[in-house]
Structure 1
Amino acid sequence: MALISCPECQKEGISDQALTCPHCGVPIAMKSPSRLVSTALKRVGIPLLLAALGFMLDNPSDRSESDEI
């Protein structure tokens, strides 16, 4: 987290994570696309990776012979 100055009112000490300037209300910055993609990959990708790993580690010798056709 860094402190920046407002591009509109030039007040200092505003968090770079802030959506708006607390002094004048101007929008500071939206989340960058790379940050949104990173968050989406963590929320979706990790569970999918774990599920795929679970399927790969499933031991086929545990299945009964009736499952084979």
Structure 2
Amino acid sequence: MAKIKEKVQKDDKEVLLIAQDIKFAKSLACNNKRIRDRALKALKKWLQLRLLRMPFTEKDFMIIWKGLYYLTI
């Protein structure tokens, strides 16, 4: 029973991270400069907090890099 509970909690964390990624992507891609600026500040804060809680993997950095690269095109 404990293994199932741990797996559910891990899945919930992954879903939350994906939801946050989508929120940032939408805000950073917005046409309104004010919304983009706010999203950039929020992203900076989120990255700092995430670094304290969970270290980044190489895969995480590649996802962030690709997202920011394609955002600027």
The structure with more radius of gyration: 1
- TM-score by structure 1 length? 0.34
Question: Per residue, is there more strand in 1 or in 2?
Answer: 1
**What TM-score do you get using the length of structure 2 for normalisation?**
0.33
